[in-house]
Chain A
Amino acid sequence: MTYLAKPRLLLADAPKNALGYTRRDYEGAISTLCAGCGHDSISAALVQACFDLDIEPHRVAKLSGIGCSSKTPDYFLGNSHGLNTVHGRMPSVLTGAALANRDLIYLGVSGDGDSASIGIGQFAHVMRRGVNMTYIVENNGVYGLTKGQFSATTDLGSKNKRGVINSDSPIDLVALALQLGASYVARSFSGDKEQLIPLLKGALRHRGAAFIDVISPCVTFNNHPGSTKSYDYVREHNEAVNRLDVILPRDTITASYAAGTVRRVVQHDGSVLHLRKVGDDYDPTDRIEAMNHLHERHALGEIVTGLLYVDSSAEDLHRHLNTVEKPLNKLGDAYLCPGSKALDALNASLR
């Protein structure tokens, strides 16, 4: 058998969300990734985030490029349509899909090779355009699917499995996304689901280009000493700027925070981001501060994580283009075809 269907163990007491769905309804086919691969944890976090947000699975469209990371959309949200595109070009396909139907939630899944190497051009432009989406890079600093070559996010001095040291400067996709105008920018770690799930939830409820760089160790090719994307290294160097709770309009707020320890950001759809302070005060609504902080801490060898920047009043591509409210793919003939009368008038003007 080449297709592994998940055994359907129906647990009568499995928790249900407001739509009556269990977590199982958000799962997909069984993963074929290596056991322990960081990417699988991200899939699990996505399942949890969608379950928590009561998202109807068929309202999500999943798009990916090529790579181990890009294979994962098969392993979550089995009731959502998915398109595994070509290497490095998911952003354009996602953009086209988003243009066709503004009512769905667009989830782009990519890898560091897919986005920072072959696809860096499309990565940049999809951010610039403010496509309404959640764009995740499952960043392992290596090409997993082609067996362990350096990627463009591999840190300077990082060692591969055979001991070769990378001498090219790395691309920091978070810094790029900030510079290019993404309106929700975060970094997280696949090994920290407490941090990752709320960040995904905030992104899925964000209007505009949301980008999350998730460091996601490749256990097979990049989890050894000397690698800066191994589980151990990331745990040791992870410096979160904040901790996020996403509060939906329907929720009653139960958590209480000590004065001065939390920042509130209200998104366009009424969801509230509660950013709990960790260490120094950090303002995630200031793009320049976010860029400065990132560079300063990077110079100190820290991996900055958390919600680094959010602009809750951001517009998206559809607003820029002033498209009609109704999805373009639902406009019938009468809305699209000017008909024979208009054509006769046009003919007359061409004589």
Chain B
Amino acid sequence: MNAMKTALQRCNDFVIKFANVNGSGSASANDLFARAIIRMGVPVAPRNIFPSNIQGMPTWYEMRVSAAGWLGRRGGCDLMVAMNPQTWDKDVAELESGGYLFYDSTKQLPRSKFRDDITVLGVPLTEMCNREYSDARQRQLFKNVMYVGALTALLAMEFAEVEKLIGEQFRGKDKLISANINALKRGYEYAREHLPCPIGLRVERSDQVGDRIFIDGNSACGLGAVYGGATVAAWYPITPSTSVVEAFTSYCRKYRTDPDNGACRYAIIQAEDELASIGMVIGAGWNGARAFTATSGPGISLMQEFFGLAYFAEIPAVIVDVQRGGPSTGMPTRTQQSDLLSCAYASHGDTKHVLIFPEDPYECFELGAQAFDLAERLQTPVFVMTDLDIGMNDRLCKPFAWDDKQRYDRGKLMTYEALEAGKDFGRYLDVDGDGIPYRTIPGTHPTRGAYFTRGTTRNAYAKYSEAGADYVYNMERLRRKFDTARSLVPAPVLRAAKEPTTVGVIHYGSTSAAMEEASVTLEAQGIHADTLRVRAFPFSDAVLDFVAAHEHVFVVEQNESAQLRTLLINEGEINPKKLIRVLHYDGTPITARYIAAKIADALSERKVTSIRKKVAT
């Protein structure tokens, strides 16, 4: 093998992939490895690629180490930690030329199982573990820690950082700490003795992480719901949203337990299905509590009828939709942005809903908390649209922030005092011209302000009416309200290109990390593009102005049917020809390479070869 000559040489900029067997306890070892690199001041972006299965199936943990701070998926793999014989061939084939293959060399493998253009790094992990431990589970778990130890040596990482992390992880459990550190050392020492340490890939201490935190989007959503004042949560387990309510539960235990008597300032119900989940959320919202549910596509499908009721009865509700692939199991544990249309126009009748698109855990927290204000101000369901990529992967992001001076905005509530003073109350009356009526919470006043509501079929005073004029009044008011929403939802984020350009790119949600990187790639090719990250539906004027201001507008999405593009065309009355699709939907997170290539190709087809010149003249 002549690989060493051409072996990749990279410092703080490579992709390492762990091929594991689901249920083997590799997740915490991989996490330890990622955190150790972060502690060395180098940004990493890990991603789980896992099956819809609890044990025995292949699972991958792909980690991008990037001093430049790119957190999107790069694609390709420079170092494969091949711990799963089942996927060996595929894993080996995936390595970049000049890459490194780390494997358990206990069992001899024929030469044909390797490649000539890679560097092979064998550590007899099984043998070492079998010698060291008698218990089967220990053998398995410590094998993972051992490979972390070996990698620490191979990549020239600081052993002390990993050691320290183990100490933090098992704080108070001294036995576990020493056992783990022992395993770590075994791996580390073996590599130092038997392998060419360091290899061409290295991690060097840096200061690129700053004060950023490392957390997954679902935990951030759960925390956002606590800060946003949610007291009622109802849900039904479904990947990839389950950990939203699990996080909400544990944060509530921590922050919402009454110090005097241990009572709960929250109520969480695992419902019998998603219909019941959303029903409970609506009941609680009608009765004046902030409530939410978390689900994924199939749950959204089941909730449709109720969304219509909440829309027309004007009941606040927050729905976190962690999007995934289509029906059944398997693909559904892969990421997508494919529920936009089914949420935006959810339910029967003329409905339109407010959608929020967080880009990362920071926004899952911030916009997730804001969603509760928005739902009450607008008295309507608000959908927080995340996806598996944001939801279930730890991501470096800005530290969470909260302004203690801010107060929950409960929207237009008719109080006891106002009713007592004889203020006119029509539940569905547009008093202020913004389409948002006033509401009373049940139990407000003994003789005033009560109303009986149904979806439709009532007048502005909530009295039964089948009159067409009353229906029309109501629909027009709802449209006004939706228009008001455009100025209340989070504004889009514009990044202007370094030079004036006719090219604009619209993207949203988890695409942003790859998009930012793609902009830089394109810029290096002389293609300048302004980008606009849309953060909400309905679209504010800024979104439509952006489209109008650019000749070539790309819409980058992680679905097959170009759903945001459809919304733009439909709601912004934009000529479809103007919006160029860039779609990625194979279940893996979109990459900068993919975006940049699609945009460059399309522009050259459109013969927009030298934009710089064109703009300059």
Contacts and interface: CB of A to CB of B under 8 A. Distances in A.
A32 B440 CA distance: 26
Nearest to B365: A343
A331 B263 CA distance: 13
Interface string B282-315: 1111111101000000000000011001000100
Given A84-B453, A351-B213, A58 B265 contact: no
Nearest to B289: A100
A81 B470 CA distance: 21
B611 interface: no
Given A63-B283, A321-B267, A29 B464 contact: yes
Nearest to B262: A322
19 contacts: A57-B450, A62-B452, A79-B446, A83-B283, A84-B453, A86-B309, A89-B279, A91-B276, A92-B276, A92-B277, A93-B280, A95-B276, A98-B283, A100-B289, A323-B265, A328-B232, A329-B289, A340-B403, A343-B400
Contacts of B444: 58
Contacts of B273: 121
B452 A329 contact: no
B269 interface: yes
A85 B267 CA distance: 22
A238 B442 CA distance: 38
Nearest to A340: B402
Contacts of B213: 347, 350-351
Interface in B215-272: 215, 223, 226-227, 229, 231-232, 234, 255-256, 258, 262-269, 271-272
Interface string A102-117: 0110000000000000
B287 A346 contact: no
Given A97-B287, A321-B267, A350 B215 contact: yes
Given A322-B263, A323-B264, A328-B265, A96 B227 contact: no
B416 to A, nearest CB: 10
Interface of A: 2-3, 28-29, 32, 56-59, 61-63, 73-74, 78-86, 89, 91-101, 103-104, 121-122, 124-125, 129, 318, 321-325, 328-329, 331, 333, 335-340, 342-343, 346-347, 350-351
Nearest to A75: B452
Contacts of A59: 443
Contact of B255 (A73, A96, A98, A338): A338
Contact of A99 (B215, B232, B262, B400): B232
B454 interface: yes
B283 A340 contact: no
Contacts of B447: 57-58, 79
Contact of A125 (B212, B255, B276, B450): B276
Given A73-B452, A81-B450, A323-B267, A93 B214 contact: no
Nearest to A350: B213
Given A73-B452, A99-B284, A336-B256, A92 B267 contact: no
Nearest to B309: A86
Contacts of B229: 333, 336-337
B336 to A, nearest CB: 27
A342 B444 CA distance: 33
Nearest to A337: B227
A350 B214 contact: yes
Interface in B117-143: none
B466 interface: yes
Contacts of A347: 211, 213, 399-400
Contacts of A93: 279-280, 282-283, 286
B512 interface: no
A330 to B, nearest CB: 8
Nearest to B255: A338
A74 B453 CA distance: 9
Interface string B441-475: 11111110011111100010001111100100000
Nearest to A84: B454
B263 A74 contact: no
A3 B459 CA distance: 9
Interface in B511-532: none
A80 B443 CA distance: 8
Given A97-B442, A331-B231, A82 B275 contact: no
A100 B276 contact: no
Contact of A100 (B227, B268, B284): B284
Given A96-B232, A97-B284, A2 B465 contact: yes
A89 B276 contact: yes
Contacts of A62: 452
A96 B285 contact: yes
B408 interface: yes
B279 A122 contact: yes
Contacts of B465: 2-3
Given A78-B450, A92-B275, A99-B289, 8 more contacts: A28-B452, A58-B442, A89-B275, A96-B285, A100-B285, A124-B272, A337-B227, A343-B401
B440 A96 contact: no
A347 B452 CA distance: 45
A74 to B, nearest CB: 5
Contacts of B451: 81-82
A219 to B, nearest CB: 22
A346 B214 CA distance: 11
The list of the 4 closest CB pairs from A to B, nearest first, reads A96-B283, A92-B279, A100-B289, A96-B280
Given A62-B452, A85-B309, A96 B275 contact: no
A94 B212 CA distance: 43
A345 B404 CA distance: 15
A35 B258 CA distance: 53
Contact of B283 (A57, A95, A343, A351): A95
A217 B153 CA distance: 82
B167 to A, nearest CB: 14
Contacts of A63: 283
A100 B288 contact: yes
Interface in B389-416: 399-404, 407-408
A57 B446 contact: yes
Most buried by B among A78, A81, A342: A81
B171 to A, nearest CB: 11
B203 interface: no
B281 interface: yes
B365 to A, nearest CB: 9
Given A58-B444, A101-B443, A328 B289 contact: yes
A103 B443 CA distance: 9
A336 B265 contact: yes
A212 to B, nearest CB: 21
A165 to B, nearest CB: 33
Interface in B20-43: 38
Contacts of A99: 231-232, 267, 269, 280, 283-284, 289
Contacts of B452: 28, 62, 73-74, 78, 81-84
Given A58-B450, A336-B231, A339-B402, A104 B279 contact: no
A121 B276 CA distance: 9
Contact of B226 (A57, A96, A338): A338
Given A95-B279, A351-B214, A83 B232 contact: no
Contacts of B445: 58
Contact of B442 (A61, A124, A351): A61
Contacts of A340: 401-404
Interface in B339-364: none
Contacts of A324: 258, 263-265
B432 to A, nearest CB: 23
B309 to A, nearest CB: 5
